């Protein structure tokens, strides 16, 4: 019985291995040029910065071969805040830091007059120079208030060289979060 199972296994395994997958992977298959809008809403600042780029194709597979700036100039970006009940318009600017790879400053879009508020709903609309419209909606998360404290009494061991760094936070009027990190402050060489 075992010999018969081994024979069947020895016969079937090579067939399964050699048959493999017929679909080959091609990262460029069905490539379509798309817009990318990058905006990180800062809750601690009234200044917001957006960057728009297009995806690009290169002759091979190395994206560093691209010599043409993918950044988009001339778009119109607005953001509506349900908290303020106001629509804000981003202004055109440039950034030499972002565009340095291409030898020119990259076009960026700046909003200098809106501070995000917790639980606010923001609606972003961007109209590209060719008329394409990008839309996005997000909810600003609640504040997360962290307090950092150093507690040098370890509850894990009685080792005087081990210390505890306690990080606690509280989601406004809800659940408390706590994270304890233990670290050794003095290593003793073992002989």
pLDDT at 39: 92
pLDDT at 52: 95
How confident is the model over 26-79, as pLDDT tens digits? 777 888 889 999 998 888 889 999 999 999 888 888 888 888 899 999 999 999
Domain extents in the chain:
35-139, 144-184
pLDDT at 147: 54
4: phi then psi, degrees, rounded to nearest 5: -65, -40
How far apart are the C-alpha atoms of 163 and 185, rounded to whole Å? 7
Please provide the DSSP assignment of 29-60 as one string: TT----EEEEE---TT-S-EEEEEEE----SS
Pairing between β-strand 121-127 and β-strand 106-111 as defined by DSSP bridges: unpaired
Among candidates 73, 141, 64, 134, which has minimal Cα distance to 101?
64
Whether 152 has a pLDDT exceeding 50, the answer reads no
| Coil, helix or strand at residue 92 | strand
- The pLDDT-based confidence of 11 (bands split at 50, 70, 90) is low
Task: Please state which CATH class domain 35-139 belongs to.
Answer: mainly beta
């Amino acid at each position: 019985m075992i010999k018969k199972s081994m024979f069947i296994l020895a016969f079937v395994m090579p067939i399964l291995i050699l048959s493999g997958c017929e679909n080959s992977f091609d990262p460029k298959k069905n490539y379509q040029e798309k817009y990318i809008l990058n905006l990180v809403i800062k809750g601690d600042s009234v200044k917001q910065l957006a960057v728009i780029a297009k995806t690009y194709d290169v002759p091979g597979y190395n994206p560093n071969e691209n010599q043409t700036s993918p950044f988009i100039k001339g778009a119109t970006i607005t953001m509506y805040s349900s908290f303020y009940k106001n629509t804000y318009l981003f202004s055109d600017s440039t950034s030499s830091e972002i565009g340095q790879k291409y030898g020119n400053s990259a076009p960026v879009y700046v909003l200098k007059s809106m501070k995000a508020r917790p639980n606010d709903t923001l609606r972003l609309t961007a109209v590209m120079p060719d008329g394409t419209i990008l839309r996005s909606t997000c909810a600003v998360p609640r504040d997360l208030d962290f307090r950092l404290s150093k507690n040098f009494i370890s509850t894990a061991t009685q080792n005087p060289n081990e210390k505890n760094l306690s990080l606690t936070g509280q989601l406004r009027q809800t659940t408390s979060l706590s994270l304890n990190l233990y670290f050794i402050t003095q290593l003793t060489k073992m002989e």
